[in-house]
Amino acid sequence: MAEFTMELNDEQKEIRDWVHGFAADVIRPAAAEWDEREETPWPVIQEAAKIGLYSLDFYAQQYFDPTGLGIPMVMEELFWGDGGIGLSIVGTGLAAVGVLTNGTDEQIGTWIPQMYGDADDVKVAAFCSSEPDAGSDVASLRTRAVYDEARDEWVLNGTKTWVTNGGIANVHVVVAQVEPELGSKGHASFIVPPGTPGLSQGQKFQKHGIRASHTAEVVLEDARVPGRCLLGGKEKLDERLARARERAASGGRNAAMATFEASRPAVGAMAVGTARAAYEVALDYARTREQFGRPIIDNQGVAFQLADMRTGIDAARLLVWRASWMAVNGRKFTAAEGSQSKLFASETAKKVTAQAVQILGGNGYTREYPVERMHRDSAIYTIFEGTSEIQRLVIARALSGMPIR
């Protein structure tokens, strides 16, 4: 087990600087254009693929970093560049992790390469979980998967919503109910291969922020997938369902929620990157903008805001790094430390970006300066991967041991 440390090693520093350079030289100059276009920034993703930044190998290397700091370090730098483009680059990872954690070796080797493609033919993937009536309430999923034993196929029906890369993905990973009476314990995940009849894109959402990231509904109408597309395989699913039936009356923690708990620090790192970017713009502006014959940073009202902004960002990063280290090293989140990191970092991003707009005044409210976009982008962090209210619920339950509602 790696010791927790605040000091990046030389290799990590090199990777951080490399990702930061890409964010500064490629992502930042393109951010305003793709935000305005509200389209997937394929040329930027392709540039990332050319240098190996958009690839399974790179993210696997960071994912298995024994210190736990690889993923949050990379996320912070990419989202320092831009939230929308950052999510376009890392969005495929949601589906890839789903396959890595639940799939067989054969499934991992078959499907994950198809999620990324290569530098000459870039692909993306989508993870489809939320539904119009089931966001935070994962037990209420209505998408059904029914096994056709005669043809060894699963038939999927339902509508997924808020899907990053939904409909444009080469590979979709879909969470569906196979045994509704078991609630969330009756879920399973399925690969929907490219070109599967019955899968289509529904509404594409026009969003407040992260507008360079494609978000849409995915509609499944009698979409048939081969039996081999059930992640983990039929035998493993049958064993899990049998255990769930035996324990149905005993309750216990939802395994899916435990997985989300471990992934939430990565979202916290995204929020830290956006907050840090806005803080740096505000700091530079306050040093150079003069009013009444002196830089506005000379005023306590501005200087104290900047002090609070920096303190909040550093505190958020510490919580994210602690949770990331705990997750990689198998430490139990006895106080919902994953949710703590996501909650504090996301709320910090909203606050810091709002303060940055205020410090820039009228300029901050215009699209001439990036803090306006950063403020819009920051709103998503308190919503996806569990709202702030859900994070507080998870933390309160962990602390009290009670089923707080």
pLDDT band at 252 (very low <50, low <70, confident <90, very high): very low
Mean pLDDT, residues 261-288: 94
pLDDT number for residue 3:
85
Q: Are 344 and 319 in contact (CB under 8 A)?
A: yes
- Residue 314: count other Cβ atoms within 10 Å of its Cβ: 12
Mean per-residue pLDDT of the chain: 94
Mean pLDDT, residues 4-11: 91
3-state secondary structure of 39: coil
Mean pLDDT, residues 10-38: 98
**Using one digit for the tens of pLDDT, what is the confidence trace for 33-61?**
999 999 999 999 999 999 999 998 999 89
Provide the whole-model pTM.
0.94
Q: Is the pLDDT of residue 301 over 50?
A: yes
Q: Can you tell me the distance from the alpha carbon of 360 to that of 82, in angstroms, rounded to the nearest whole number?
A: 19
Mean pLDDT, residues 391-399: 95
pLDDT band at 255 (very low <50, low <70, confident <90, very high): very low
**Using one digit for the tens of pLDDT, what is the confidence trace for 332-374?**
999 999 999 999 999 999 999 999 999 999 999 999 999 999 9
Mean pLDDT, residues 391-405: 94
- Residue 323: count other Cβ atoms within 10 Å of its Cβ: 29
Q: Is the pLDDT of residue 92 over 90?
A: yes
Supply the residues annotated as catalytic.
385
Burial group, residue 109, by CB count within 10 angstroms (0-12, 13-18, 19+): exposed
Q: Are 145 and 176 in contact (CB under 8 A)?
A: yes
pLDDT number for residue 250:
44
Lowest mean pLDDT across 136-145, 166-175, 201-210, 323-332: 136-145
3-state secondary structure of 250: coil
**């210190």: which residue's tokens?**
67
Residue predicted with more confidence, 20 or 136: 20
Residues 6+ apart with CB under 8 A from 201: 166, 167, 168, 216, 217, 218, 219
pLDDT band at 96 (very low <50, low <70, confident <90, very high): very high
Mean pLDDT, residues 216-237: 97
Mean pLDDT, residues 1-24: 93
pLDDT band at 248 (very low <50, low <70, confident <90, very high): low
DSSP 296: G
What is the phi/psi pair of residue 124, to 5°?
A: -130, 165
